[in-house]
Each structure stands twice: as C-alpha cells, then as structure tokens.
Structure 1
Amino acid sequence: MKKILIPVDFSEHSEYALQVAATLAKKHGSKLVVLHMMGLSEAVLTKDESQEMFQAIYYMKLAEKRFNAFLEKDYLKGIDIQTTVQNYKEFHEIDKVARDFDADFIVMGSHGASGLKEVFVGSNTEKVVRYSALPVLVVKNKIKEFKMERVVFACDFNLDFIEPFKKAWKFFETTNTKFQIVFINLPDKYLSTQEMEERAFQFILRTGLDTSLMNDIVYYCDYNFENGIYSFSNKVDADLIIVPTHGRRGLAHFFSENLGESLMNHSDIPIMTFKV
C-alpha cells in the first residue's frame, strides 16, 4: 500500500475519498497521487495561438489553482502528496495514470444515493471500476474514522472468482485485517451444510492458499443475495465489503445471474472491487 491514486472533481464526494485515502496513508506510510481530469476537446488543445489555446491554458491554470485550495486540509499535513492535471476525457485512461504513477489502488467517491445501479452503473465510478486493473475503493459518504479492521468477501465460490479472491487476500494479508468470507445460502438454490462446505473446500483448494481459511467462512441464509450480504455485513460490523468484478461486462454483472443489482441499497459500507 505504498501509493494511492485519488481522482477528484473538487466535489464533497471527492473529499470523502481524499479523507479516507489520507487515513490509510498515515496508517501505512503511503503516498497520495491526486488526479483531476480536464476533458478538454482536441480542437481546444491543438489550435496554436488561437482563442481556444488561450482558453485551454486558462482552464489548466484554474484547475491547478483549485487544487491548491482543495488540498488545504489539516488531515493532509505530513503526507507526501503529488498532484496531476490530465486532459483525459475517457475514464478508462485513469488506469493508465495509475500505472504511470505506480499506484497500488484507487480511492474514489461516488455520487450515487442508493441502489447499485445509481451508485455504479453508467456512472463515472462504474467506468473506473470497469477498466481498472487495480483494486478500487468506493466511498459514498463521509467517514469520520475509516478503518479496515474487518472486511467481508461475499462469494458463491464460483471458480471465476478465484483470482480476485487471491488478489484480495494478498492485499489484506499484511494489514492486520479480519478477512471474513461469507456464503449466502438462498431458498431457490438451497445447499445442505455438507454441500456448502464441499464447494467451499474445492474453491479454497484451487486458490493454492492454506485450507485453514475454511475456518473463516460463514454460511448465512437469506431470501436474496444482496440482502444477505447487507444483513451479514451489518451484523458483524464490517468496515468494507469486497466485490469481484467482470471488467468487460461492468459492475452490474459481477455475480452469477446478475444478482448484484441492489447490493448498495440502504448501505453506507464502502465497497472495494477486485477485477476478475
């Protein structure tokens, strides 16, 4: 967790993400890279000595000035911060910025109010999640004291999720975090305890990780997948919910049979995505 990228648009939601990133930076000695995307047209940037060119320079200077004001926060004192203003119009280009700055993951604010579709699908956040090869931590609200003491990885042990599971496990392995795995048992796909345990064992075995992880799996019954995750995460007072994502299809389809549509309903728990 050496370097964290935070895309900002100077909104209050950007500040929520910045504050979370600052908390992590102080705890883990991380550096912050704060990115603002201009999105100016090519015409504005290529017409030499024209009115458009002067406008482009003006907007670049204005963005830099806003950066200075935006970063005047007491909670940022003592943190190594880099800023960058890029003229990117497509959000998949954030992944390139992350690689250029050798970032380990991205922290981003979401303007969505409720429902996974409102929070992610069709939003800037969803676009970043879809294209980012790095983990993306999504923050919806202001969090007074962000921590990652207990995280929940919700999984039906589909073999497609082996790689994001391994990435998530490795990410939190050295952070003194309780990594809780939950299997939501549903009425229409009901499995016996023996069947769930066998499915979980085969999954853990294929990850190549220690099979003692079986001790960290909870089997939880609910009427639908999303409510199960929400109910369980609140029951154990989780700080974070981990979600595997399919980049090619977007966040709405990260679980089999599109079961993820309403995960974020009435939930303020931050979500962290790991790409399949």
Structure 2
Amino acid sequence: MKTIIVPVDFSEHSEYALKAAAALAKKRDSEILALHMLDMHVASMNESGSYHQEQTAFLLQFAKKRFHNFLKKEYLEDVKVTPIIKHFKVFSEVNEVAKKENADLIVMGSHGATGLKELFLGSNTEKVIRFSEIPVMIVKNDLENFDFEEVVYATDFSRESIGAYLQTKSIVDDLGGKLHVLYVNTPYDNFKTTAEMHQMAAEFLIAAEGNAEKLKEVSFVCDRTIEKGILNFANSVGADLIAVSTHGRKGLSHVFRGSLSEDIANHATLPILTVKM
C-alpha cells in the first residue's frame, strides 16, 4: 500500500479520514495525496469569461492557503503528503487521479448514522465509490484505534464476488488483520440448510483459492435480516472494519440484494471498506 488518496473538503469528517490515512501511511511508508476539488460550476455558467478567470485565480490561491493550514497537523509529521487541487467537482477525477498515481486506496470521511442516509442519495462519498476502481474506506468517526485487526467480510459466495473477496483478503493481510468471512442465513429469503451452506462455501473457496482449507474459518450465522446478522457478528468478534462489495457505476450495490449496503452504512459506527466486483 504505497499511495493513499484522501479527498479533503476541510470538514471535520475529512480530517477523520486524513488522520486514519496518516496512521496507515506511517505503518507502511505510504504517500498521501490530499485531493481538494473547487466547486466552480455555477460561477462558470453565470459569469463572464474574464471575471470567471479572476475568480478562479482567487479561489485557487485561497484553497492553496487553506490547504497549507489544514495540513499542519502533528499526526502528519514524518508522512509524505502531496496536496492536489482540481478546479471542478468532477468525482470521476478522483478515480482518474488514482489511476494516474497508481494509488492503492481512497480514504474519505462521511457523516454519522443519520447523515449517512445522504451517502446513498447522491452525496460526494457515494459518487466517489461509484467511479472508483480501487477500494474505498469510509471513516465516520474520529478513530482512537487505527489497527484493523478484526475485519468482517460478508458474502453470498457468488462467483462474481470472487475477485472482491481476493482483493479484500489481500488488503486485510497487508493491514495485518484477521479476515472473518461471514454468511448470514435468514428465515425469509433463500433459507439454506447447514449442509447447503457448507457446500456453497466450499465450492466458492475452491474456485477462489484452489482449495477449501479455509472453510473451517468461515462463520455461518442465522438472523432475522442479513444486516442484523452482519452487525451482530461484527460486534461479537470486536470487529474494527466491515468490508462489502460494490458494483461500481451500477450504484452502491452489495453482493446481496436490496438496500443492505445502505442499511449497514447507516447503522454501523465502524469504518467500511468497499471493494468493487
């Protein structure tokens, strides 16, 4: 994990993300690219060309000064931080920067449980996730512990999620954590017997890793909803992070049906790692 991108809007939540990224960077000697996007679309449509150029120059200098002050943090000492300013809020550019810089991870802040409802209604975080081709970590609080030792990855063991599983496994190994692979069995939707769950998991692991040796490490839980199963299990193992898969531009769609990802993000206080399938 050599390069981490942190979108910055100077809010306290983007500082939470910056602090988390700094902790990761110090442990892995990574570089942080702090990315700020100026909101200039309205001005470009309403103002004359000459005035717009003056306004752009003024806002750019103001952003540079604000960036300089924002990055004066003790937790950034001994961390290589490169500020990047884009002139417009084009969220696909986050992914373009990630590709250009060969970045490994995007870490960004988002609001707490109530505010996170906006995340799935067109907010900045959701837009970044839709375009991102690399994993995105969502940080919602000022974390005291930056050691992601226990990570829960919930899956339905579908073939399309194999790539996301392997990438999540690689990230967790790099973080030095333990990956808890979880399947939630519910009474109302596609209920499976114990034998059926084990067979499905074994076939998935054989396809993903060439063997089913890790079957003994897979957890199967029953709960009234998949969301409750994930959150209850994460609480029971003292998880530091919950990982989910996304379909990228198809929306923040989880390997499960419905609005599960939305529900988890709205109700979980833990950081969430999204990995594109």
Q: Point out where structure 2 has 5 or more consecutive residues left out of the alignment.
A: none
Residue pair 2:231, 2:264 contacting (<8 A) in 1 also: yes
The SS at the match of 1:258 is coil
Q: 1:198 to 1:9 in 2, by over 3 A?
A: same
Q: How many residues align?
A: 273
RMSD of aligned residue pairs (Cα, Å): 1.9
Q: Is residue 57 of structure 2 the alignment partner of residue 94 of structure 1?
A: no
Rounded to whole Å, the distance in 1 between the matches of 2:135 and 2:269 is 19
2: CA distance, partners of 1:52 / 1:264: 39
Please list, as runs of the form range in 1=range in 2, the aligned pairs for 1:234-273 lying within 5 A after superposition: 234-251=235-252, 253-260=253-260, 261-273=262-274
**What secondary structure does 1:264 align onto?**
helix
Return the offset for 1:119.
Answer: 3.5
- 2:64 corresponding residue in structure 1: 64
Contact 1:112–1:118 (CA<8 Å) still a contact in 2? no
When structure 1 is superposed on structure 2, of 258-267 and 55-64 the one drifting more is 258-267
Q: Separation in 2 of the partners of 1:85 and 1:192? A: 54
Is contact 1:116–1:263 with CA below 8 Å preserved after alignment? no
Q: Which residue of 2 aligns with 1:83?
A: 83
Within a 5 Å distance, the mapping from 1:143-182 to structure 2 comes to: 143-182=143-182
Contact 2:105 2:136 in 1 (8 A): yes
CA contact (8 A) 1:116 1:262 kept: no
Q: Which residue of 1 aligns with 2:229?
A: 228
The letter of the residue matching 1:90 is V
In structure 2, relative to structure 1, the CA distance for the partners of 1:229 and 1:118 (3 Å cut) is: farther
User: Aligned AA for 1:182?
Assistant: L
The offset of 1:231, in angstroms, is 0.6
User: What is the CA–CA distance in structure 2 between the aligned matches of 1:212 and 1:36, rounded to whole Å?
Assistant: 45
- Following the alignment from structure 2 to structure 1, what is the Cα–Cα distance between the partners of residues 213 and 115? 35
**1:115 shift after superposition:** 7.9
- Cross-structure match for 2:124: 124
Code of the residue aligned with 2:19 in structure 1: it is Q
- What letter matches 1:14 in structure 2? S
Aligned equivalents of 1:121, 1:147: Cα separation in 2: 31
| 1:62-106 Cα deviation digits (max 9, x unpaired) | 000000110111010011111110113221221001112221110
TM (normalized to structure 1)?
0.93
Q: What's the counterpart of residue 10 of structure 1?
A: 10
Percentage identity across paired residues of the two chains:
41
Q: Is the Cα contact below 8 Å between 1:201 and 1:211 reproduced in 2?
A: yes
In structure 1, the residue matched to 2:195 is 194
The aligned amino acid for 1:274 is V
